[in-house]
Chain A
Amino acid sequence: MNTLKKLKSIDAIYWFVAVFFIAALVFVPGFANLAALERLLSQGCVLIILACGVHLTVLNGGVDFTSTALLALTTVVGGSIMSTKGPLGGSAGALILGLLVMVLLGLGFGIINGFSITTFKMPSFIVTMATQMIVNGLAVVYTGGSSVTGMPSAFAKFGKGSIFIFPYLLIVAVGVALVMHIITTKTLFGRQLYAVGTNHKAALISGVSPRKTIFKAYVLSGVCAGIAGIVMLAYMQSGSVNYGATMFNDIMGSIIVGGTSPAGGRGKIANTVMGALLINMIDSVLNILGIPYYFITLIKGLIILVAASIDLIRMDRKVAR
């Protein structure tokens, strides 16, 4: 009885991931080998990091469109700095500078977003949409549209290497997710974030400043986008203004499938990570099965709908509003 209760309290997303994974192992030819699993894991890293960042903004009922565009900007700027073809010739210093610049770019645009949203009270939807255009435009201006290549070999090793079947990149992604998990669950800021997301006014009157909290959420989301840029650059070994163009739906999908409420105030980072893995796995498995991509798009759309419906039903049962 007790075990049953415990099993029931596990969030649905874990079951889906587990069931889907096992089913894929059994039924999908070519899926059940270590190399394939390693590829699967390395594919999911960028999505995990971005989803974690955007998750924070969704927690206070907002959204961050800029993060996908930042993926493009950071990879081309960072890539051009650390490239062996660049002015610094791919030295160790260039590498470090490149990484730093990428994170700072993310931070910078996070600050711009956060500032506009909290100071001018602009809806995040529009602000981040506008900054997305601007960031994408800047990336295009910076490169003229061409890709950036010639990553230093150390960086290439980092991008391709792995321990057993766990790519280094995954370790970065899990690290980011872990930090985000700790931030949301164990820290003062995390508690403030949930409070603001649940009831803006009550939080304000209880001495939690929504402005500061929301600002921090967007800054963190920006930083996550910067780190995601690094992982992307390492994974792809080239920077391109094209990155992230079609990723936003997957990011929102991960968050929603993970059971986060788009109205704010509720949702766990761990579930979002699971959501990202699930979305990634669906993509991969359907690809391997040779399903046309438009069906994959369609199926992902349906899964978002179904997941959101289920989430609402569960909430209805849990909390009598």
Chain B
Amino acid sequence: MSEIALELKHITKSFGEVQVLKDITLTLKKGHILGLVGENGAGKSTMMNVLGGIYQRNGGEIFLNGTEYRPASPKDAGAAGIAFVQQELNLFTNLSVTENLFITDMPRNKLGIVNKREMRRTVEEKLKEVGAEEISPDTIIASLPMGQRQLVEITKSIMADAKIIIFDEPTTSLSNAEKEKLFGIINKMKEQGKSIIFISHILEDVFARTDEIAVLRDGEIISQRKTSEADAATIIKEMVGRELTNIYPTCEKTIGEVVFETKDICQEGRFDKVSLRVREGEIVGIFGLMGAGRTEYLRCIFGLDPMSSGEVIYRGKQIQPVEPENCIKNGMALITENRREEGLLLPKTLRENIVLSSLKAHRKGNGRFFMNAGKERESTAKMTEDLRIKTFDPNEQTAGTLSGGNQQKVVFAKWVLSDPKVFLLDEPTKGVDVGAKYEIYTIIQDLAKQNSAVIMVSSEVEELMGVCDRILVMNNNRFTGELTKNEDYSAEEIMKYAVGGAM
């Protein structure tokens, strides 16, 4: 099995003056899984878009099964047998499963009327193929849970009988069970002789599942080698270009009394009397599989989603009503998992973003209406420096032009400035490259050091074990386990609680 399915030679691509791809040279063998790793902004998405016909390359050659390949549109790529499973789900929530799967290629008669029966039959077959026969082809996507949507997305990629399938961070929104299922499907595809490119931030997965690993950095392929010959330290080094000695920072801090408490939180159809206590200076991790209710819990106690009953208490005082504005007033802060949609004002300057949640504190004197621009600039300068945000001018540069890690730091800066005492962090390092991750962990530790209570939700067990003083495990909208640092931390134990088997 050494036939080459896809070969990229010296691909270059630039936007205006910025050269995003400098030299991409890559080979994908038939029936192999190629893992592609690299920091955010290394050029992975651009490379994929070149392959997918969304962008046109500036230079270099691509050979598909030995013949020159130059896609002019996504349709060309599809016709050539290249399929994509995207990081963000590209499903139309207002259409049915069948319609989503056939959206560009519906079977139809001469009048253009589509053959619904034929479509449904094909979809049923394909769904069975990926082991998702529980999904009805006529269901509207909006009524499917996330995991099932991902399965639909995968089904989509096998619709066209693709020879090469590219998975772009497919596991970010999946529970472990779903993840296993996905890898099962990938292996099955491999057995069928399909070639797969697997892009992921999660090194464990890459090591466990791939035949080869290629590292992409700054628009160049740094290395491509057999997985069996690679080790994590080297790969990480190649990704960031420097050696990371300690991924998780530690610091000296004192953990005090219980300051934050959620009591008997109920939400119609989801939570039934869920409680949680956090001490001063403590970092509490919440682990749970997708759909366990972690994100929903944070959003619920922050007042973003309706809460039918329950109390949110800070320092013995009940926060009432539980609405974002009031929660913030009482010292709470929420960092959501999707910063571009919910965290930042992308077209606005860093200054405007950073002072956003403490606007009232930046009013002039004792006045009620007017803003104090000088004070804003001062705070912004301090924050960019403290959190080491890379920017040429925080008063001019817009948040949309920053890299993922820097954007996340701006979100942190926004909250650090308003000085809350309870931090709710939802996947704070999602989509952030390794270097920036470290800095974000440092920020989190610093917060705890300054006597804040931190609740951190993450899908990466390792990360929680590295950062948190205590880990709570959630399953089916309940807390099912609790582990304390250094005593009983073990990934297997956590997973056991998470799948709910042990209880």
Contact = CB atoms under 8 A, between A and B. Distances in A.
Contacts of B357: 206-208
Interface in A173-198: 186-192, 194-195, 198
Interface stretch (B138-146, B228-236, B341-349, B481-489): B341-349
Given A202-B342, A319-B401, A320-B400, A208 B359 contact: yes
B400 A319 contact: yes
B346 A199 contact: yes
Contacts of B348: 194-195, 198, 265
A95 B398 CA distance: 50
B328 A207 contact: yes
Contacts of A207: 324-325, 328-329, 357, 418
A321 interface: yes
Interface stretch (B45-53, B72-80, B189-197, B363-371): B363-371
B360 interface: yes
B371 A195 contact: no
A interface: dominant SS: helix
A199 B344 contact: yes
A207 B343 CA distance: 11
A190 B373 CA distance: 13
Contacts of B344: 199, 202
A117 B436 CA distance: 41
A171 interface: no
A61 to B, nearest CB: 13
Contact of A188 (B325, B336, B369, B414): B369
A209 B302 CA distance: 14
A240 to B, nearest CB: 37
Nearest to A212: B325
Contact of A205 (B343, B359, B363, B371): B343
A208 B323 CA distance: 11
Interface string A202-220: 1111111100000000000
Contacts of B368: 188
A205 B360 CA distance: 15
A199 B339 CA distance: 11
A188 B363 contact: yes
Contact of B334 (A186, A188, A205, A208): A205
Interface residues of A, number: 26
Contacts of B360: 188
A121 interface: no
B168 interface: no
Interface size class of B (residues with CB under 8 A): 20 to 34
Interface in A229-253: none
Contact of B370 (A186, A192, A195, A202): A186
A209 B325 CA distance: 7
B356 A206 contact: yes
A191 B400 contact: no
B304 A206 contact: no
Contacts of A206: 328, 356-357, 414
A201 interface: yes
Contacts of A265: 345, 347-348
A203 B414 CA distance: 12
A191 B352 contact: yes
A188 B347 contact: no
B19 to A, nearest CB: 15
Interface string B167-210: 00000000000000000000000000000000000000000000
A300 interface: no
B352 A188 contact: no
Contact of A189 (B304, B336, B346, B369): B369
A85 interface: no
A70 B479 CA distance: 57
B356 A319 contact: no
Nearest to A183: B369
Contacts of B369: 186-189
Nearest to B356: A206
A198 B347 CA distance: 7
Given A188-B363, A207-B328, A209-B325, A321 B370 contact: no
A191 B398 CA distance: 16
Interface in B370-403: 370-371, 398, 400-401
Contacts of B398: 318-319
Nearest to A200: B342
A321 B346 contact: yes
A188 B342 contact: no
A242 to B, nearest CB: 38
Q: Which of A187, A188, A202, A318 has the most chain B CB atoms closer than 10 A to its own CB?
A: A202
Contacts of A318: 398
B400 A321 contact: yes
Nearest to A196: B345
A207 B347 CA distance: 19
B34 to A, nearest CB: 30
Given A188-B363, A188-B371, A206-B414, A201 B324 contact: no
A201 B341 contact: yes
Contacts of B352: 191, 194-195
A186 to B, nearest CB: 5
B347 A201 contact: no
Nearest to B363: A188
B371 A187 contact: yes
A195 B356 contact: yes
A127 B250 CA distance: 56
Interface string B312-345: 0000000000001100110000101000011111
B304 A205 contact: yes
Q: Which of A189, A199, A207 has the most chain B CB atoms closer than 10 A to its own CB?
A: A207
B363 A195 contact: no
Contact of A191 (B325, B336, B359, B401): B359
A208 B371 CA distance: 15
B418 to A, nearest CB: 8
A191 B371 contact: yes
Interface in A253-288: 265-266
A319 B328 CA distance: 30
A205 B329 contact: no
A217 to B, nearest CB: 15
B300 to A, nearest CB: 14
Interface in B234-282: none
Contacts of A186: 369-371
A203 B356 contact: yes
Contacts of B336: 205
8 contacts: A187-B370, A188-B363, A188-B369, A191-B356, A191-B359, A205-B304, A265-B348, A319-B400
Interface of A: 186-192, 194-195, 198-199, 201-209, 265-266, 318-321
Q: 3 closest pairs, A vs B, by CB?
A: A207-B328, A206-B357, A198-B345
Interface of B: 302, 304, 324-325, 328-329, 334, 336, 341-348, 352, 356-357, 359-360, 363, 368-371, 398, 400-401, 414, 418
